[in-house]
Every structure is written in C-alpha cells, then in structure tokens.
C-alpha cells in the first residue's frame, strides 16, 4: 500500500505537470494568438481536475508516509511551478 501510494502520486504528478505545460505552452498561445478560447477551456478543465487529484494524492501519501511539513509544502509549491512536479518526483525518488 505504501509503495502504491507513492507510485500514484508520481503518475498524477506527471499528468498534472504535463497538463500545466500544455495549458501554458499550447492552449494559452492558441487563445491569444489565434482567438481560440476553447483551447484554454478544455485544457483548463482537465488541468483543474488533475490539480485537485494531485492535492488529494499529496494528502493520501502524507497520511500513509507521515511526511514532514516541509516535504508537503514542497509538493504543494511544486504544483504551481512549471516543471515543478517533475522536479519533485525526482527529489522523492532519491
């Protein structure tokens, strides 16, 4: 169960981080350069769902592994930084 929770956090982190990069790198330019606000809506909804799932995964892992406040804070902050979840994933693997 412990290993499974970390694996789930890693997968969700990768999905959330990827959706954030797609939102910033593809959907936002489509909205402003080509007047396609639908791109931001679609990717934004997916990203919002994955962001919520990432926060729930952090809470789940925190309860099971008894993470310190610093580690939880780092995981939370990583969600707001482009490439943050990928860097956090690397940090928890080592």
pLDDT digits (tens, 9 = 90+) for 15-73: 999 999 999 999 999 999 999 999 999 999 999 999 999 999 999 999 999 999 999 99
Domain spans in the chain, listed from the N-terminal domain onward? 2-93
Locate tokens 């969700």: which residue?
12
Q: Where are the alpha helices (DSSP H) in 1-94?
A: 2-22, 28-34, 37-65, 69-78, 84-93
Prediction pTM value: 0.92
């Amino acid at each position: 169960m412990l290993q499974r929770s970390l694996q789930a956090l890693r997968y969700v982190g990768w999905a959330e981080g990827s959706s954030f990069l797609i939102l910033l790198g593809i959907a936002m330019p489509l909205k402003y350069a080509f007047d396609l606000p639908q791109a931001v809506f679609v990717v934004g909804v997916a990203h919002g769902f994955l962001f919520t799932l990432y926060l729930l995964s952090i809470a789940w892992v925190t309860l099971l592994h008894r993470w310190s406040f610093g580690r939880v804070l780092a995981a939370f902050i990583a969600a707001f930084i482009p490439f943050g979840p990928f860097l956090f994933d690397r940090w928890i693997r080592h």
